[in-house]
Amino acid sequence: MEMQSLFSGFCSNSVIPSPKDLFPSHHYCFIQSNNRVSFRAQCFPASRRSGSVGRLECKNSVEKVSDVVSHKEDSKSWVKPKRLAVFVSGGGSNFRSIHQACIEGSVNGVVVVLVTDKHACGGAQYARDKGIPVILFPKTKDEPDGLSSDDLVIVLRRFEVDFILLAGYLKLIPVELIRAYPKSIFNIHPSLLPAFGGKGYYGMKVHEAVIASGARYSGPTIHFVDEHYDTGRILAQRVVPVLANDTAEELAARVLQEEHKLYVDVTTALCEDRIVWREDGVPLIQSKENPEEFY
């Protein structure tokens, strides 16, 4: 079955890997017109990822299982940077914060590809400006160059992605991707889940609902992604007070400030293999300063 427009960029200065590097054993067609670059490829076998429990230790996009690492390990020992794929639908402010933290070295990772459902969004333009490859997903009437779910899995594997970070990506993640990257896909939501989550709760709608409910607190949540909107296991939260005279815009601005900090902190822990699982299936983050503490 022919794969349509497998990889697509929309800026002449985008850094786009050679299709032979992405798919060394197949035939390709290179097309370029109107500042658009795309590749076509044929018949690629899909590979599988194994499930995992315990500590997340990703290498070459294959999740491995191990016991909790001894606390006596040298915390300064070198760890291979994790390869990150970020998904956005809008301006991508969380994406920018994560990318900047990677550049500065506070996150031991590198953003190797950006995935978007809107090729002209601010996050996609930022990625092109920084030389990060941009992939369209999914294929729609408005975005005919988008990939199918199976094709997206193949491309992400070729980029050797370890973790997928959703940063304002509004489409439901397909089951094919969740099965390919078990316990490796994360999302940030602008409320304290499970409150004010689910289909229809996004952007300013969340903050309007929080204020209308009379809730005294809100804040961002980072959670694992499953087949539904905002129902995956909660990994981290940060509390933001709701003030008596708040507007939705004012609350949104304060929550967004905490989102940027929280997502960088969680990505730092991911890239340092500090995510562990309690016996009852609740994920925890191990403290870097005190390995005996979890939060």
Q: 217-218 and 240-241 as β-strands: parallel, antiparallel, unpaired?
A: antiparallel
Listed residue (43, 2, 41, 3) closest to 19, CA to CA: 41
Q: Rounded to an integer, what distance in angstroms lies between the CA atom of residue 134 and that of residue 119?
A: 8
Cβ(23)–Cβ(157) under 8 Å? no
Residue tagged active-site, from 99, 119, 189, 223? 189
Task: Indicate the helix (H) or strand (E) that contains 128.
Answer: helix 122-129
Cβ(157)–Cβ(26) under 8 Å? no
Q: Is 228 a catalytic residue?
A: no
Token duo for residue 127: 């990625």
Q: Rounded to an integer, what distance in angstroms lies between the CA atom of residue 161 and that of residue 58?
A: 9
**Considering just the CA atoms, what is the radius of gyration of the chain in Å?**
19
Cβ(42)–Cβ(3) under 8 Å? yes
What strand order describes the sheet that includes 28-33? 2-9, 36-42, 28-33
Which residues are known to be catalytic?
A: 189
